[in-house]
């Protein structure tokens, strides 16, 4: 095992407008003990001219979507790193992103899967601050992870035990998102999840983002339409299928209750499961949305 060395998994596709700025911010980290594995899901290799000036390992992506790209790259790179981190192609890392997260992870039990993640500063095309991602104050847990992903993969750093756990993701089945499945798996086995309220990256919002900022009325109505049209139910189904691949100990009963809640045709029973076993989302509006999903059997 490399002594506290980090493998950074940077997955890209097509839009390279901000890639150099992102790479510059990674190489400007005050923590220098890392390697970068760049997995390219583009149809052409137009990015290779940019990479000549950077020390990275270039890989061909599987061309099966961003989530599979991240997880398959993680699974296939060497196991001899102490820590792993996901990175997007258009963000800007603050210079202490790695050192801060690793310092916190080193204080945890390294024999268990551990995950560090957090909030982001939202910036526009020019890198100017336009807001913040939602602030989540409730503790991370499996009961939360079943119904919500609390942090972007671009904020995530985790230990080798978490990598071992994620090897059990079945890439032949749907992977909703690499960040959600990471939060879900680590919390499912009662690993430590640390959510940092102070942002360590600048998350760029622009027209070509695959995932939006998750704030404001536009984002709320988008989420509402997703739960109303049945997409959310399909995502939960896919997550539960993935959970069948790992051994749950303390949380096995919670998963069984959650499945009963979803399958019950009696809305009073569904609401009883919700309130009795305290499945939850992080914000007031999120809790209202969850209540409506359970009430209308859209979860």
Q: What is the pLDDT of residue 234?
A: 96
Q: What global pTM score does this model have?
A: 0.93
* Domain chopping of the chain, boundaries: 6-204, 216-295
Contact 182, 156 (CB under 8 A): yes
Q: Does domain 6-204 have CATH number 3.30.530.20?
A: no
Token pair, residue 294, equals 């359970």
Q: What is the DSSP secondary-structure string of 97-127?
A: HHHHHHHHHHTS-TTS-EEEEE--EEE-TTS
Give the residue carrying structure tokens 């750093």: 157
pLDDT computed for residue 207 by the predictor = 63
For residue 171, count other CB atoms closer than 10 A to its CB: 14
Ordered DSSP codes for 12-58: E-S--TTHHHHHHHHHT-S---EEEEEEE-SSS-TTHHHHTTS--EE
**Is the CB of residue 117 less than 8 Å from the CB of residue 155?**
yes
Would you say 147 and 141 are in contact if contact means Cβ atoms under 8 Å apart?
A: no
pLDDT in tens, the chain (299 residues): 678 999 999 999 988 899 999 999 999 999 999 999 999 999 877 787 888 899 999 999 999 999 999 999 999 999 999 999 999 999 999 999 999 999 999 999 999 999 999 999 999 999 999 999 999 999 999 999 999 999 999 999 999 999 999 999 999 999 999 999 999 999 999 999 999 999 999 999 976 554 554 555 555 556 666 766 788 999 999 999 999 999 998 899 999 999 999 999 999 999 999 999 999 999 999 999 999 999 999 99
Please report the pLDDT score of residue 48 as a whole number: 78
> Are 208 and 128 a contacting pair, CB within 8 Å?
no
Predicted confidence at residue 46, as pLDDT, reads 72
Residues 136 and 284 sit within 8 Å (Cβ to Cβ):
no
Residue pair 294/274 in contact by the 8 Å Cβ criterion: yes
The pLDDT assigned to 218 comes to 57
Report the pLDDT value the prediction gives residue 102, as an integer from 0 to 100. 98
- How far apart, in Å, do the first and last CA atoms of the chain sit? 42
Write down the pLDDT at residue 47: 84
């Amino acid at each position: 095992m490399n002594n506290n060395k980090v493998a950074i998994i940077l997955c890209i596709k097509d839009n390279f407008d901000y890639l150099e700025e992102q790479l510059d911010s990674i190489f400007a980290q005050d923590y220098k003990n890392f390697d970068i594995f760049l997995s390219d899901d583009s149809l052409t290799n137009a990015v290779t001219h940019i990479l000549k000036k950077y020390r990275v390992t270039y890989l061909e992506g599987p061309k099966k979507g961003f989530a599979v790209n991240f997880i398959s790259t993680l699974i296939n790179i060497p196991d001899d790193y102490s820590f792993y981190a996901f990175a997007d192609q258009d963000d800007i890392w603050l210079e202490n992103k790695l050192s801060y997260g690793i310092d916190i992870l080193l204080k945890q039990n390294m024999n268990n899967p551990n995950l560090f993640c957090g909030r982001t500063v939202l910036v526009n095309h020019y890198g100017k601050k336009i807001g913040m991602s939602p602030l989540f104050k409730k503790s991370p847990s499996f009961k939360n992870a079943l119904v919500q992903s609390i942090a972007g993969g671009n904020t995530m750093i985790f230990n080798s035990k978490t990598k071992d756990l994620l090897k059990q993701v079945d890439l032949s089945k749907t992977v909703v998102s690499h960040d959600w499945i990471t939060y879900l798996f680590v919390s499912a086995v009662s690993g430590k999840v640390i959510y940092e309220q102070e942002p360590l990256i600048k998350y760029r919002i622009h027209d070509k983002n695959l995932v939006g900022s998750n704030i404001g009325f536009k984002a709320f109505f988008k989420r509402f339409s997703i739960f109303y049209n049945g997409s959310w139910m399909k995502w939960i189904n896919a997550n539960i299928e993935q959970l069948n691949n790992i051994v749950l100990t303390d949380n096995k009963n919670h998963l069984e209750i959650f499945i009963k809640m979803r399958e019950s045709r009696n809305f009073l029973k569904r609401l009883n499961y919700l309130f009795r076993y305290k499945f939850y989302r992080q914000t007031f509006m999120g809790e209202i949305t969850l209540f409506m999903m359970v009430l209308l059997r859209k979860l």
